Amino acid sequence: MFKEYDIIVVGAGHAGCEAAAAAANLGSKVLLITMNMSNMAQMSCNPSMGGIAKGQIIREIDALGGYSGIVTDKTMIQFRMLNKSKGPAMWSPRAQSDRILFSMQWREMLENTPNLDFWQDNVTSVLTKGNTILGVETEFGQKINAKSVILTNGTFLNGIIHIGERKFKGGRIGENSSLGLTENLINLGFESLRMKTGTPVRVDGRTIDFSKLTEQKGDDFPKKFSFTNTPALTKQKSCYLAYTSLDVHNILRTGFDKSPMFAGRIEGIGPRYCPSIEDKIERFSGKDSHQLFVEPEGWNTVEYYLNGFSSSLPENIQFKALQRISGFENAKIFRSGYAIEYDYFPPVQLKYSLETKLIENLYFSGQINGTTGYEEAAAQGMIAGINAHLKNNNKPLFTLKRSEAYIGVLIDDLITKGVDEPYRMFTSRAEYRILLRQDNADIRLTPIAHKLGLISNQRNNEVLQKQELINEIQRFINKTSVTPDQINPLLKKKNTSPLLQKQKISSLLLRPQISLTELISFLPFFSNYIKSLENINNEILEEAEILTKYNGYISKEQDIANKLSKLENIELHESFNYKNLLSLSFEAREKLSKIKPKTIGQASRISGVSPSDISVLIVYLGR
């Protein structure tokens, strides 16, 4: 029934969908096998994309030719640029999504992708010969061959759902868990551990008194995630803020003896920074109130998601506590909150390409690697999809450096440091965050993706043209001066000291009170110059402004990245025997032998490998 595929992707979550899209767009014959084709790219938890550091990842996926940004733009119901009061390194786009449309849009885009076939089934094992992948076997008894297999099973591997004292098998509420595959992989020699996560109640919006909540509107001028010509939002739905109280906490406490977490029935490690409400009450016992976000689930539904109220307490306790929250006195719920425990595979078992070290041409991506979040999963899916294609075609592997992309930081962290709790991206994980801004993701990455074959000539040319226009504006403002007469009225209005002699526009822009757009509209010669540039737009002006205002920081970070890249260029061979290098500390010998870093740079980031161990390696290598 099935011919041999180039690549089989198992699971159509965020990782699987991006993996399948990337590999098929590069020209591989791909089969996407998933348990239920009706909920592809399902948002298991909150109906939102992006946010701090995650928004940057979506922009990067989009710049590389992935679909997550386009799908988000086409299905969002609210857009906000977070952290706008901080520097541009921190600006992070966030969208409230229509959960149902999001999944439908993904499916439509994948169905319109050439080279991509679909099969609804449950993969129960991978087929191998020696240490090479041959394909997969499914619950329906199909044995399907492929040159490569990408596993993206998310929270489904031996998933167990907990609500109060009840527990049952499931990969997500209402869906089966994936059985057999973990044991199959363990038999092949892989290590697997448990993690957990949770989700809150979904509330009937018809029963919420919104007048008691604080409205949180979208941005007045909503932006987009995709650099392509996706439509901009013309109307938006609001989110709301609500607050728990001591009364709510006391009711929740009455269920603590039945909590699967406190009673020790859940062993997996959960996300520390995304705790359940019962966790928050326990950990911050001095706090009488916690903020909740009331988020609409879509355009055409009354369902609301209560972000911050994640719980696995018995439903009746969740319900009773909910009704004590101001605005929720008469609330009804559609779905209860729950926790889920699942298997993951520590990602130090992977190479930079996300291929496993143990079985050739087998790749893992997404939550199976101990991450959490749609964006982190989607990014890994792209990397695995691209690399599976490249390896099958004997082409060099595709990796992104930590100084090139958040995606580079993500993969390097996972395979080098491993995870001891569900890994999510933060801006603080990136040492070069002023370089890795959301606004410049296309300039950083689109030309790279064009070389891979994921971006059309036209799209790449547009980015090159954008870069040229930014350079042109920078040249102009670096060489053009304004006189005190020309500019002092504006400086006075802006409460900043007047000029005594003429000054370059670029130096004026260093003043926090002065923006490029204000200068353009105030100075007729500047405005005429800008009008003379073809294809100019606000994005280009914003980029030129950021590069000028933050030039000092950007150059400094780029210098450090260049210096450190020397360490990234000193390669370490996979077969290097660290055990024989006795001047290394015992811990370093153990860790280096396990992780087998590709470069001195990667070795230096392994916890337990000290700077003196790195010196030993450098001396040994004669460098």
Binding region for ligand FAD (CB under 6 A): 10-16, 33-36, 44-45, 122-123, 152-156, 171-172, 178, 181, 197-199, 274, 340, 366-367, 372-374, 377, 424
Judged by beta carbon, residue 318 or residue 548, the one nearer ligand FAD is 318
Q: How far is the CB of 424 from ligand FAD (least distance, A)?
A: 6
Q: How far is the CB of 479 from ligand FAD (least distance, A)?
A: 47
Q: Where are the beta strands (DSSP E) in 170-302?
A: 193-199, 202-204, 214-216, 239-243, 291-296
Helix, strand or coil, per DSSP, at residue 214:
strand
Token pair for 290: 């916690």
Q: How far apart are CA 95 and CA 91, in angstroms?
A: 13
Region for residue 429 given its phi and psi (left: phi exceeds 0; alpha: psi -120 to 50; beta: otherwise) = alpha
Q: How far is the CB of 256 from ligand FAD (least distance, A)?
A: 20
Task: Output DSSP code: residue 216.
Answer: E
Task: Output DSSP code: residue 358.
Answer: S
Judged by beta carbon, residue 152 or residue 506, the one nearer ligand FAD is 152
Contacts 24+ apart (CB under 8 A), 473-478: 473/530, 473/533, 473/540, 473/541, 473/544, 474/506, 474/544, 474/547, 474/548, 476/505, 476/529, 477/504, 477/505, 477/506, 477/509, 477/516, 477/544, 477/548, 478/504, 478/505, 478/506
Q: How far is the CB of 390 from ligand FAD (least distance, A)?
A: 21
Judged by beta carbon, residue 12 or residue 242, the one nearer ligand FAD is 12
Q: How far is the CB of 61 from ligand FAD (least distance, A)?
A: 13
Helix axes 54-63, 374-392, angle to 10 degrees: 30
Judged by beta carbon, residue 31 or residue 546, the one nearer ligand FAD is 31
Q: How far apart are CA 417 and CA 589, in angstroms?
A: 15
Q: How far is the CB of 461 from ligand FAD (least distance, A)?
A: 33
Judged by beta carbon, residue 375 or residue 545, the one nearer ligand FAD is 375
10 Å CB burial of residue 69 (0-12, 13-18, 19+) is: buried
Q: How far is the CB of 543 from ligand FAD (least distance, A)?
A: 29
Q: What are the phi and psi torsion angles at 79 (to 5°)? A: -130, 135
Judged by beta carbon, residue 181 or residue 554, the one nearer ligand FAD is 181
Judged by beta carbon, residue 201 or residue 469, the one nearer ligand FAD is 201
Judged by beta carbon, residue 382 or residue 546, the one nearer ligand FAD is 382
Judged by beta carbon, residue 312 or residue 440, the one nearer ligand FAD is 312
Q: How far is the CB of 153 from ligand FAD (least distance, A)?
A: 4
Judged by beta carbon, residue 28 or residue 155, the one nearer ligand FAD is 155
Report the chain's terminal Cα–Cα distance, integer Å. Answer: 56
Region for residue 27 given its phi and psi (left: phi exceeds 0; alpha: psi -120 to 50; beta: otherwise) = left
Q: How far is the CB of 172 from ligand FAD (least distance, A)?
A: 5
Token pair for 273: 């920074």
Place of tokens 């200068």: 519
Q: How far is the CB of 380 from ligand FAD (least distance, A)?
A: 8
State the CB neighbour count (10 A cutoff) for residue 132: 11
Q: Give, in order, the Cα–Cα distances in Å from 136 to each of 120, 144, 148, 279.
A: 13, 5, 10, 40
